[in-house]
């Protein structure tokens, strides 16, 4: 049996995988603040993210702050709650402004934080 075509296909697939593996890392680079206690939740809610430079995202798409409430209502019609992720190096004023806009739209806001490593003596 001739295995040369099989080896050729496997090598091509390996090369394709190696090229695309580096581009598979997607998402926003947000350095989430740490807190001592974090509540675990498994709810599937819309995620609003604020990066350190003040860029605002709904899911993984950039969005204008003036369209935020309308877009959340349009994309997630039955959502009553929103996760808010903010970079620890971001501006607090923008964070508070987003909370205000979402609250005015009658959306509950849950702030996302990472649990702090607590060293016990």
Q: Does a structural domain hold residue 72?
A: yes
Q: Does a structural domain hold residue 25?
A: no
Cα separation values, 74 from 26, 69, 103, 107, Å? 24, 9, 16, 13
Average pLDDT of the chain is 78
**pLDDT of res. 10:** 92
State yes or no: pLDDT of 40 exceeds 60: no
Q: Does a structural domain hold residue 16?
A: no
pLDDT tens by residue, 17-30: 887 776 665 555 66
Q: Does a structural domain hold residue 23?
A: no
Domain containing residue 80: 34-115
The CATH number for 77's domain is 3.30.420.270
Domain count, the chain: 1
Average pLDDT over residues 70-92: 85
Strand-pair category, 114-115 with 34-35: parallel
**pLDDT of res. 19:** 78
Q: Does a structural domain hold residue 15?
A: no
Confidence of residue 75 (pLDDT cuts 50, 70, 90): confident
Question: Could you tell me the two tokens for 118?
Answer: 């607590």
77 or 38, greater pLDDT? 77
Q: Does a structural domain hold residue 14?
A: no
pLDDT tens by residue, 93-120: 888 888 898 888 888 888 876 655 555 5
CB count in 10 Å sphere of residue 67: 13
Percent of the chain whose predicted confidence (pLDDT) is above 90: 7
State yes or no: pLDDT of 16 exceeds 60: yes
Please, what is the angle between helix 68-75 and helix 92-104, to 10°? 50
């Amino acid at each position: 049996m001739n295995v040369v075509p099989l080896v050729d296909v496997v090598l091509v697939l390996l090369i394709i995988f190696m090229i695309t593996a580096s581009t598979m890392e997607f998402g926003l680079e947000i350095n989430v603040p740490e807190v001592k206690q974090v509540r675990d939740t498994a709810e599937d809610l819309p995620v609003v993210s604020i990066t350190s430079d003040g860029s605002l995202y709904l899911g993984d798409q950039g969005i204008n702050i003036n369209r935020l409430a309308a877009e959340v209502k349009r994309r997630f019609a039955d959502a009553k709650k929103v996760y808010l992720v903010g970079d620890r190096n971001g501006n607090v004023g923008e964070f508070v402004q987003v909370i205000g806009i979402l609250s005015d739209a009658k959306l509950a806001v849950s702030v996302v934080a990472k649990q702090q490593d607590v060293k016990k003596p």
